[in-house]
Amino acid sequence: MTRMKTLCMALFAVFALGAAFTATSALAFELPDVHTLSDVGYPVTGEGTLENGGAIVSELETEIGEKLTATSVNAKATLTTLSSLGPGTLKFNGVTEPKSKTLCKSTNVTTKGEVLFTGEYHVVVADTALTKPAILILFPELTVECNEGKLKIKVKAPALIKLEGVKSGTDVEKYGLVANCTPKGKQELKEYVNDSGVLTKGALTANFGLGAEAACERATKELVITSSAMVDFLF
């Protein structure tokens, strides 16, 4: 009985230490911050556009090959205080559904060919070693109408894309957003570290009428954002 009691106490101690270590590790994780120079006030805005003379520069594609294409992408982000998040928009122009060869638009705009995502960006990391800066994009579910409203596509957040051209402790005026699919319908980045220090799935979905499917956003090259003031991404 004494041996059993001692063994149980030892096991309890091991489990307690393990739980304490896990809790401490989670609490020790700090979310990234975006700083400005001390003499710069808020808000700080960033904006960039990707286009190529009317050629396709971006695609939203599902696993089975359903897609939307765009000939222009404009990204805007606002930093209102020392933080890792803020309001942002992504506006796609020249949006077409290739099967019907018709222009599409989201239900929150009136212009054909325009799809507007309005929501919030979060600066995150895509690995626990803090070596993969990323942007998590959150937005309310958006409906896109194509072929005079005969096709309604529902796109649901989050989207997770690479953040390029930044280094912790270095002020920058320009930084890049990179969106790739690996393979078709799957975003290159699939997880991010949440505020508890735990890897969490971040997957975009789209419903072209057959139910929600995994989807990804692809751009032909890096979208460069120019900031209204120097900023430092601290990870």
Shared domain for 223 and 163, answered yes or no, is yes
pTM equals 0.86
Shared domain for 23 and 58, answered yes or no, is no
Where does 77-198 have alpha helices with state H? none
Q: Are 48 and 63 in contact (CB under 8 A)?
A: no
Shared domain for 47 and 87, answered yes or no, is yes
pLDDT score at 41: 85
Residues 6+ apart with CB under 8 A from 95: 68, 69, 70, 103, 104, 105, 113, 114, 115, 144
pLDDT exceeds 80 at position 11? no
How confident is the model over 160-172, as pLDDT tens digits? Answer: 999 999 999 999 9
User: Which amino acid is residue 33, in one-letter code?
Assistant: D
How confident is the model over 81-118, as pLDDT tens digits? Answer: 999 999 999 999 999 999 999 999 999 999 999 999 99
Shared domain for 77 and 193, answered yes or no, is yes
Shared domain for 82 and 186, answered yes or no, is yes
Q: Which domain holds residue 2?
A: 1-29
Residue among 40, 139, 121, 136 nearest 85 (CA)? 121
Query: Per the structure, how many domains does the chain have?
Result: 2
Shared domain for 184 and 73, answered yes or no, is yes
Shared domain for 115 and 205, answered yes or no, is yes
Shared domain for 58 and 172, answered yes or no, is yes
Shared domain for 215 and 100, answered yes or no, is yes
